[in-house]
């Protein structure tokens, strides 16, 4: 057990492009942002509990360390993440230790910036550090964090957010090929252009949104096509599928191609093309994947009217934030928050 208080930080993320591709073995291009979740953990002797405080919510709880706590008895909200982290790390041989946790963060919840992945990553790093144990290597840790969301919080998310939070790099996005997986840095030189997120104000919880339905539809499509994953689908695949599966598959295939087109446009410093790709991604997410909502559409229009080269819904959809690329000398909407690539999760 650590003798001292430890502190872990995990960032939220922005996904430049490559949406709803992660759980289809596809490509995405996220970066970690400066905002995130901080978890401090202090050893508690003697003790058999984790005493946890969610500072931003003003809530406290005492959570059992016992093995065998099940998702059904894990409490609600942030408590589920704590119990999930304890249990999933336990399955990886990490003996949890009694400690006092303090959780705080500055990623707005439900804004599509991945506050929940930041929370699970920061919790896992802090729980390992307070136990004086090496954390699992980062690919494994990402999978552990994803299981916390899937099995403990009912959100059937892919690995995009966890990878972005764990592998984020200052000054660069990461091109993730989920098949492999393979992670590669992509410099983000924006020539005085600004990437900003604009909150649509529409809140969604992934667990209660159509997100899980979209995953199911992709699964149905692969079953009909007789494929392991949509990554194996050729350009003709969507033509043989019934509506709306044809459109869902078309989105995924085109979105994968847009990721590499964006990587190429960034290498050429062709930001007008990056903007066009963001717009194309949005149209596809709105019309083919059907994850937009009216407030998001209004926010996209607002960004375009303010001169954005491109703007698109970001993250799981059904609300959340819009990501927009503003050229120099334009004025983004007042509530826009500029974002830039920041380092990944770490002990402080």
SS3 at position 155? coil
User: One of 22, 25, 161, 288 is an active-site residue; which one?
Assistant: 161
State the nearest-atom distance from the C-beta of 106 to ligand GLA, in Å: 18
Cβ atoms 171, 188 nearer than 8 A = yes
Strands (DSSP E) contained in 30-152 are: 30-43, 49-54, 59-64, 99-105
Cβ proximity of 136 and 142 under 8 Å: no
Among 102, 161, 288, 302, binds ligand GLA (CB under 6 A): 161
Per-residue DSSP letters for 276-326? HHHHHHHHIIIIIS----HHHHHHHHHHHHTT-SEEEE-TT-SSSEEEEEE
Dihedrals phi, psi of 174, to nearest 5 degrees: -120, 130
Question: Which 8-state DSSP code applies to residue 56?
Answer: T
HSE-CB of 142 using CA atoms within 13 angstroms? 19
Per-residue binder mask for ligand GLA (CB under 6 A), 4-43, x = binder: ---------------xx-xx--------------------
For residue 161, the minimal CB distance to ligand GLA (Å) is: 5
Is residue 161 part of the annotated active site? The answer reads: yes
Strand-pair partners of 105 = 37
Instruction: Tell me the closest approach of the beta carbon of residue 117 to ligand GLA, in angstroms.
Output: 7
> Residue from 158, 168, 275, 341 that binds ligand GLA (CB under 6 A)?
158
In the stretch 225-264, what mask flags binding to ligand GLA with x, by CB under 6 A?
----------------------------------------
User: Would you say 87 or 113 has its CB closer to ligand GLA?
Assistant: 113
SS3 for 347? strand
**Using rule CB under 6 A, residue 157 touches ligand GLA:** yes
String marking each residue 89-118 x if it binds ligand GLA according to CB under 6 A: -------------------------x----
Q: Sign of the C-alpha dihedral, residues 174, 175, 180, 181?
A: positive
315 touches ligand GLA (CB under 6 A): yes
Shortest gap between Cβ of 310 and ligand GLA (angstroms)?
Answer: 17
Active site (catalytic) residues: 161
Binding residues vs ligand GLA (CB under 6 A): 19-20, 22-23, 114, 157-158, 160-161, 315-316
């Amino acid at each position: 057990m650590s003798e001292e208080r430890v502190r872990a930080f995990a960032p939220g993320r922005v996904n430049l492009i490559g949406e709803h591709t992660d759980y289809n073995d596809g490509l995405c291009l996220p970066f970690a942002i400066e905002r995130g979740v901080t978890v401090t953990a202090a050893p508690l002797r003697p003790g058999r509990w984790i005493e946890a405080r969610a500072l931003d919510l003003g809530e406290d709880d005492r959570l059992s360390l016992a093995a065998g706590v099940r998702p059904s008895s894990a409490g609600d909200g942030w408590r589920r993440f704590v119990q999930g982290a304890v249990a999933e790390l336990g399955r990886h041989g990490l003996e949890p230790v009694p400690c006092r946790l303090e959780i705080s963060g500055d990623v707005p919840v439900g804004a599509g910036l991945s506050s929940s992945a930041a929370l699970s990553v920061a919790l896992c790093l802090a729980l390992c550090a307070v136990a004086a144990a090496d954390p699992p290597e980062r690919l494994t840790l990402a999978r552990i964090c994803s299981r916390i969301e899937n099995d403990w919080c009912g959100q059937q998310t892919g690995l995009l957010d966890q990878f972005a939070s764990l592998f984020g790099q200052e000054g660069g996005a990461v091109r993730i090929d989920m098949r492999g997986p393979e992670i590669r840095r992509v410099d983000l030189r924006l020539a005085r252009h600004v990437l900003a997120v604009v909150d649509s104000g529409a809140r969604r919880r992934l667990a209660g949104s159509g997100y899980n339905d979209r995953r199911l539809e992709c699964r149905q499509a692969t079953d009909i096509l007789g494929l392991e994953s949509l990554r194996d689908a050729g350009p003709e695949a969507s033509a043989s599928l019934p509506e709306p599966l044809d459109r869902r598959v078309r989105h995924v295939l085109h979105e994968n191609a847009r990721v590499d087109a964006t990587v190429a446009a960034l290498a050429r410093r062709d930001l007008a093309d990056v903007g066009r790709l963001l717009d194309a991604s949005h149209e596809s997410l709105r019309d083919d994947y059907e994850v937009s909502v009216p407030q998001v559409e209004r926010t996209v229009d607002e960004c375009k009217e303010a001169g954005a080269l491109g703007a698109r819904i970001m993250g799981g959809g059904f609300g959340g934030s819009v990501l927009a690329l503003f050229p120099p000398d334009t004025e983004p909407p007042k509530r826009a928050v500029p974002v830039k690539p920041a380092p990944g999760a770490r002990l402080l």
